[in-house]
Amino acid sequence: MSLERETTVWGKREDMIVRNPSPFNAEPPASLLAEGGITGVDAFFSRNHGAFPDIPVEEWRLTVDGMATKPLELTYEELTTRFAAHSVVATLACAGNRRAELLKVRPIPGKEPWAHGAVSTAEWTGARLADVLEAAGVHHDEGLHVAFTAPDVAPEARPVQSYGSSIPLNKALSAEVLLAWEMNGQPLPRAHGGPVRVVVPGYIGARSVKWVTSVIVQPFPSQNYFQALDYRILPPEADADTVAPGEGISLSSVALNCDILAPTDGDRVAAGPLTIRGWALAGDGRAVARVDVSVDQGRTWRQAKLDPPPSRWAWRAWSLTVDIDAGPLTLMARAWDDTGAIQPESPASLWNPRGYGNNAYARIDLTVM
């Protein structure tokens, strides 16, 4: 089967960059995201650790149990009619987005070399996880976790197992966390976790479990490979193949980040006025306060124009028009959040054995004709 056929099979545009046809992993070229706002389903990145389960809506069930006084088993019909539907515009950012820049520091074997596109924004509609937990008799209790399981089997996991993860109960009870059955007003496509997925705005994409079939309230984080061993920032000297479960920093809330989407790496542009566009996103519950752009290797910076964010859980588009002369040109961008924090300058200090969490200043090299 050709790559082109694979990409169109899942309703994706043919110009998606396919990082792996099986399991399917694809990102849009940066230019497709440059308008900001909501990403079309056909351009939304797709990140998968196994083959897509095929669960007919009538057969899908969700169990909610563990530390719940009224455990539930819900059909799709029950989930979508018993609980009020809420919509949240939220950006999903894969922890591996911008890994390509870390690879230039030191190789990271066996991991997708995501460039600029493992991040996209959609309007998600579904039940609040908080409402479902309340119906199951789950009470707020500091220190508890909510684990999610799904049926897709990940061959890369050690041992081989189906996908899962968890979030703290505190976060699970926040109004923005959904059990979503719609994406951009359409039934949730199979490639994005249909019939139902978890959406955890503000957290790395890995916690938004697709094809979710169980929700378990427990006193410890999920022991699934993708929570206990993967999606962790290991110290640079660690050996990713032999670390013990729980080592390193578990990723949850995303870090302040930004990127340049247009123009993009290696583009040839005309001398004169050039409009630069990109996105910026702050960590869980924080806001982007400023984005600066430099065209002189970081010696001087100008403030970009910030569009209003589509929601407090979504990226902010920014733009700046500069005048440029012929020759090689490096564009840099950096975001500040409302606590006054700024991104780290260089990916060299961020390198980690699995290549997660690159939030260094954005940097693009171009040729001006």
Ligand X SMILES: Nc1nc2c(c(=O)[nH]1)N[C@H]1C(S)=C(S)[C@@H](COP(=O)(O)O)O[C@H]1N2
- Site pattern 199..218 for Mo ion (x: CB under 5 A): ------xx------------
Q: Which is nearer to ligand X, 181 or 211 (CB)?
A: 211
Q: Which of Mo ion, ligand X, none lies near 227, with the C-beta cut-off 5 to 8 A by kind?
A: none
Please give the distance of CA 17 from its chain centroid, rounded to a whole number: 17
Q: Among residues 369, 270, 276, which one has the least CA distance to residue 331? A: 276
- Site pattern 51..90 for Mo ion (x: CB under 5 A): ----------------------------------------
Rounded to a whole number of angstroms, the minimum distance from the CB of residue 150 to ligand X is 3
Helices and strands counted in the chain (H then E)? 7, 23
Please give the distance of CA 287 from its chain centroid, rounded to a whole number: 17
Q: Which is nearer to Mo ion, 226 or 318 (CB)?
A: 226
CA atoms within 13 Å, Cβ hemisphere of 288: 34
Q: Hey, which residues does 290 pair with through a beta bridge?
A: 336
Pair 79, 136: CB distance under 8 Å? no
The site for ligand X (CB under 6 A) is made up of: 44-49, 92, 94, 150, 152, 163, 192, 205-206, 208-211
Closest residue to ligand X in the complex (CB): 205
Q: Among residues 253, 120, 256, which one has the least CA distance to residue 183? A: 120
Q: Which of ligand X, Mo ion, none lies near 45, with the C-beta cut-off 5 to 8 A by kind?
A: ligand X
Q: Which is nearer to ligand X, 182 or 292 (CB)?
A: 182
Q: Which of Mo ion, ligand X, none lies near 152, with the C-beta cut-off 5 to 8 A by kind?
A: ligand X
Name the 3-class secondary structure at 221: coil
Count of residues in the chain: 369
Pair 118, 126: CB distance under 8 Å? no
Count of residues near Mo ion by CB under 5 A: 4
Q: What are 172's two structure tokens?
A: 């699970």
CA atoms within 13 Å, Cβ hemisphere of 333: 29
State how far the Cα of 39 lies from the Cα of 212, in Å rounded to an integer: 23
Pair 7, 14: CB distance under 8 Å? yes
Angle CA 232–106–278, to nearest 5: 75
Give the range of 46-54, 264-272, 280-288, 303-311 binding Mo ion by CB under 5 A.
46-54
Angle CA 111–291–265, to nearest 5: 45
- Site pattern 163..202 for Mo ion (x: CB under 5 A): ----------------------------------------
Q: Which of ligand X, Mo ion, none lies near 150, with the C-beta cut-off 5 to 8 A by kind?
A: ligand X
Q: Which is nearer to ligand X, 279 or 336 (CB)?
A: 279
Rounded to a whole number of angstroms, the minimum distance from the CB of residue 146 to ligand X is 15
Angle CA 318–323–326, to nearest 5: 125
Rounded to a whole number of angstroms, the minimum distance from the CB of residue 96 to Mo ion is 6
Rounded to a whole number of angstroms, the minimum distance from the CB of residue 363 to Mo ion is 22
Q: Which is nearer to Mo ion, 189 or 205 (CB)?
A: 205
Rounded to a whole number of angstroms, the minimum distance from the CB of residue 262 to ligand X is 21
Q: Which of ligand X, Mo ion, none lies near 211, with the C-beta cut-off 5 to 8 A by kind?
A: ligand X
Q: Which is nearer to Mo ion, 111 or 334 (CB)?
A: 111
> Which residues in this chain contact Mo ion in the complex, by CB under 5 A?
47, 94, 205-206
